[in-house]
């Protein structure tokens, strides 16, 4: 089937009461890992690319790899989403390229670093909603500021400095007309999210639950939601890596989120860890190897395993065949 819109995937997830993982990619092996995991677990899926990924893959390579994914895995509904668009222009270029969903992150200024004003966020996001919905493309917005920096994007602020205000989130969703809303509840991008297993004082699930209460019809998005499992950290460190001890978002907390309106869960770090661990292991155990396939194949397999596990934990497994894709034209007509 052709690329589907994220809005359709999330509407179906809301009906079925499950969440959909949104996995970041930069290359062919990562796309293949995700699609294999989706086939194995019969899951609809969101594949997303940041600005960094678009520039690394020169954009058109990425787009054509995604078209290949729809041809090789025709039974899997897959959306292609722009992660953290920094300006309406970036979102426009993604839509022109063929992305079926974009994130306008107006919580930061176009430099991707400076926290913006509420008024700027509404204006920039509203502009993207008008442009995208006319073409049937989905829009995710963000209110509040995530912690950490990834791919050069992020304010680098403390994760609790700009936690989303539920009343402002509700006003923002109404003022912009977005399809999905990313919220800041104490999570951060990257591997170093928490220095201990998170409890309610550093991971604000109560805020999430209140936002859902005020905005029951808006799909919520959890960013920075890798679980950073210790076994993946250990493999890297066992084979010469130097990761500091760190904690991610426990899967049980994500599942609590899914019971409270979370429909999209962003996962990148866990896959990076799986790939790096697998490659380090081959390098350490077989130093005579120099065929890239000798380490990229186990890397691909390791990432597939993590993705398949998340698909099962988020509840999207088994739902790939539930619905037929709506075209962008049909989605555009719905928005009108
Ligand atoms: Zn993010």
Q: What is the pLDDT of residues 184-238, one digit of tens each?
A: 998 889 888 899 888 888 889 999 999 999 999 999 999 999 999 999 999 999 9
Whether the per-residue pLDDT at 145 is higher than 90: the answer is: no
The answer to whether residue 32 scores a pLDDT higher than 90 is yes
Q: Is 11 annotated as catalytic?
A: no
The CA 224 to ligand 1 mean position distance, Å, reads 6
Among the listed residues 324, 328, 320, 309, the one whose alpha carbon sits nearest the alpha carbon of residue 76 = 320
List 11, 83, 158, 179, catalytic entry: 83
Residue 189 Cα to ligand 1 midpoint, Å, equals 6
Average pLDDT, the chain: 95
Give 48-78 pLDDT, tens digit per residue.
999 999 999 999 999 999 999 999 999 999 9
Whole-angstrom distance, CA of residue 137 vs CA of residue 145:
24
Q: What is the pLDDT of residue 1?
A: 87
* pTM check: above 0.85: yes
Angle at 207 between CA 205 and CA 210, to 5 degrees: 110
Task: Report the pLDDT averaged over residues 308-319.
Answer: 98
Task: Name the pLDDT band for 267 (thresholds 50, 70, 90).
Answer: very high
24 C-alpha to ligand 1 centroid (Å): 10
Kindly list the distances between the CA atom of residue 325 and the CA atoms of 2, 304, 315, 330, in Å, as whole numbers in the listed order: 8, 25, 20, 10
What pLDDT sits at residue 241? 97
Query: The tokens of 324 are what?
Result: 């037929």
Compute the distance from residue 141 Cα to the ligand 1 centre, in Å: 11
């Amino acid at each position: 089937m052709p690329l589907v819109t994220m809005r359709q995937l999330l509407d179906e997830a809301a009906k079925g009461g499950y969440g959909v993982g949104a996995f970041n990619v930069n290359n062919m092996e990562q796309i293949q890992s995700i699609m294999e995991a989706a086939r194995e677990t019969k899951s609809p899926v969101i594949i997303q690319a940041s600005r960094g990924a678009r520039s690394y893959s020169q954009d058109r390579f990425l787009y054509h790899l995604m078209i290949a994914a729809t041809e090789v895995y025709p039974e899997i509904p897959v959306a292609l989403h722009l992660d953290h668009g920094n300006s309406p222009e970036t979102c426009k270029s993604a839509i022109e390229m063929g992305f079926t969903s974009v994130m306008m992150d107006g919580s930061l200024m176009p430099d991707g670093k400076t926290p913006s004003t509420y008024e700027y966020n509404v204006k920039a996001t509203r502009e993207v909603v008008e442009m995208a919905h006319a073409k049937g493309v989905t829009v995710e917005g963000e209110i509040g500021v995530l912690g950490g920096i990834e791919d050069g994007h992020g304010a680098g602020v403390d994760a609790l400095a700009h936690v989303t205000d539920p009343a402002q989130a509700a006003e923002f969703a109404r003022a912009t007309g977005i399809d999905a809303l990313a919220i800041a509840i104490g999570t951060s991008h990257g591997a170093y999210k928490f220095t201990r297993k998170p409890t309610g004082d550093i991971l604000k699930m109560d805020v999430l639950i209140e936002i859902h209460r005020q905005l029951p019809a808006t799909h919520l998005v959890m960013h920075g939601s890798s679980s950073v499992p210790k076994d993946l950290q250990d493999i890297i460190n066992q084979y010469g890596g130097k990761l500091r001890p760190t904690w991610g978002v426990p899967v049980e907390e994500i599942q609590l989120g899914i019971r409270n309106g979370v429909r999209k869960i962003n996962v990148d770090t866990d896959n990076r860890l799986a790939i790096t661990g697998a490659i380090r292991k081959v390098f350490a155990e077989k130093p005579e190897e120099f065929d890239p396939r000798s380490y990229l194949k186990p890397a691909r397999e390791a990432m597939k395993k993590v993705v398949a596990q998340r698909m099962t934990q988020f509840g999207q497994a088994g739902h790939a065949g539930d619905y037929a894709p709506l075209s962008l034209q049909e989605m555009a007509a719905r928005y009108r």
